[in-house]
């Protein structure tokens, strides 16, 4: 659900006079790049085009055939739909802007490419995703690649749902967004919409890397900060790694390594995960903590906690 923006017509026009500065700048940037669809006179364009169509059909010196007239009316209808989609996505992006957003620094080619893709999107859930991408780019220009925009354009509602389900199991490990899917056939994940098949699909469309043997995070200290919504702690893998070196003396791990499960985000997946707005999974922290404890990884209070 999107917050209502004061001064904004929910159906068509955006009155930028009453909006906060970042929102005003974003609308101006969009207008400069793809046409002034946010200007007060914009609403007249469809009506004027329709009037032109009638005029073309009736002028004596222009013999417009029925086929030509139908083609023109179809074009007007399509452009009006595209216009509505672009305005809706832009409007929905405004509540997600930060106070220090710098939409003026968005690359014009990026914004033209963005709207060339999103103008076709009328699905409400997908529009929400596109709006968050636009806001994310305005908040930090360069955050979303053209490849990411292209990937989103190929997605449908079910793809977005699969991504959101994985994002519910996403944590921060040393401030890096990290999905923790320990076992894709475990009922704990399946009950929350993450399946072996859905992960295979997300891998096929370039969102995740999926490897049943698992992935690790490594560093020199052996200490890893963990954060999941309001819960945080420190993971100490040093004793765990020492045991691995004894057991696997012929091929010991070179670094202090933390096992993180079967899934990693690709760069595109990482960009999308950074804007996902999801609810926490009840019991997830206990679940993953127990998995780490079973391996001998110690869990300690985060620095600054008693």
What would the pLDDT profile of 214-232 be if each residue is shown by its tens digit? 999 999 999 999 999 999 9
pLDDT recorded at residue 249: 65
| Weakest mean pLDDT among 40-44, 117-121, 209-213 | 40-44
**Pairwise CA distance, residues 93 & 29, whole Å:** 13
Residue 204 has pLDDT above 80, yes or no: yes
153, 187, 202: which is the final residue of a domain? 153
Is 49 a member of any domain?
A: yes
For the chain, the average pLDDT equals 84
Which range of residues forms the domain containing residue 58?
16-153
Is 44 a member of any domain?
A: yes
Average pLDDT over residues 234-244: 91
Residue 10 has pLDDT above 50, yes or no: no
**The pair of three-digit structure tokens given for residue 30, joined into one six-digit string:** 């969009």
pLDDT recorded at residue 183: 95
Residue 74 has pLDDT above 90, yes or no: no
The answer to whether residues 142 and 230 belong to one domain is no
Q: How many domains does the chain have?
A: 2
**The pair of three-digit structure tokens given for residue 236, joined into one six-digit string:** 């100490």
Convert 20-53 to b/e letters by CB count within 10 Å (16 or more is b): eebbbbbbbbbbebbeebbbeebeebbeeeeeeb
The answer to whether residues 75 and 164 belong to one domain is no
Higher confidence at residue 5 or residue 132? 132
| Weakest mean pLDDT among 74-83, 223-232, 276-285 | 74-83
Residue 54 has pLDDT above 80, yes or no: no
Residue 92 has pLDDT above 50, yes or no: yes
pLDDT recorded at residue 130: 96
**Where would I find the beta strands (DSSP E) of the chain?**
170-173, 176-179, 208-219, 223-228, 231-236, 256-265, 298-300
Residue 242 has pLDDT above 50, yes or no: yes
Is 96 a member of any domain?
A: yes
Q: H/E element holding 292?
A: helix 284-294
153, 174, 209: which is the final residue of a domain? 153
Is 218 a member of any domain?
A: yes
Average pLDDT over residues 112-122: 93
The answer to whether residues 167 and 248 belong to one domain is yes
Q: How confident is the model at residue 79 (pLDDT cuts 50, 70, 90)?
A: confident
Is 192 a member of any domain?
A: yes
Residue 1 has pLDDT above 80, yes or no: no
Nearest C-alpha neighbor of 289 from the set 298, 281, 280:
298
pLDDT recorded at residue 4: 37
The answer to whether residues 226 and 288 belong to one domain is yes
Q: How confident is the model at residue 148 (pLDDT cuts 50, 70, 90)?
A: very high
The answer to whether residues 174 and 269 belong to one domain is yes
């Amino acid at each position: 659900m999107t917050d209502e923006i004061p001064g904004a017509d929910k159906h068509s026009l955006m009155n930028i006079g009453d909006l906060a500065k970042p929102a005003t700048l974003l609308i101006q940037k969009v207008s400069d790049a793809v046409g002034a669809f946010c200007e007060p006179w914009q609403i007249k364009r469809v009506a004027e085009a329709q009037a032109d169509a009638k005029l073309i059909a009736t002028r004596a010196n222009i013999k417009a055939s029925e086929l030509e007239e139908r083609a023109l009316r179809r074009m007007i209808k399509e452009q009006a739909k595209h216009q509505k989609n672009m305005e809706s996505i832009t409007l929905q992006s405004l509540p997600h802007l930060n106070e220090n957003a710098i939409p003026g620094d968005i690359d014009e080619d990026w914004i033209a490419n963005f709207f060339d893709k999103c103008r076709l999107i009328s699905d409400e859930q997908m529009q929400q995703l596109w709006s968050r991408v636009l806001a994310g780019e305005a908040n930090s220009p360069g955050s979303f690649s053209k490849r990411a925009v292209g990937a989103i354009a190929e997605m449908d509602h079910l793809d977005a749902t699969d991504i959101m389900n994985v994002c519910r199991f996403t944590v921060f490990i040393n401030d890096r967004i990290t999905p923790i899917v320990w076992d894709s056939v475990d009922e704990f994940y399946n009950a929350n919409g993450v399946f072996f098949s859905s992960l295979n699909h997300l891998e096929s469309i370039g969102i995740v890397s999926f490897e049943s043997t698992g992935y690790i995070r490594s560093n020199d200290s052996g200490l890893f900060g963990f954060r999941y919504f309001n819960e945080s702690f420190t993971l100490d893998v040093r004793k765990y790694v020492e045991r691995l070196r004894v057991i696997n003396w012929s091929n010991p791990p070179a670094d202090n390594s933390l096992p993180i499960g079967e899934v990693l985000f690709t760069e595109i997946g990482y960009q999308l995960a950074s804007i996902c707005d999801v609810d926490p999974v009840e019991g997830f922290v206990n679940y993953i903590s127990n998995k780490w404890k079973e391996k001998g990884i110690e869990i300690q209070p985060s620095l600054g906690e008693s």
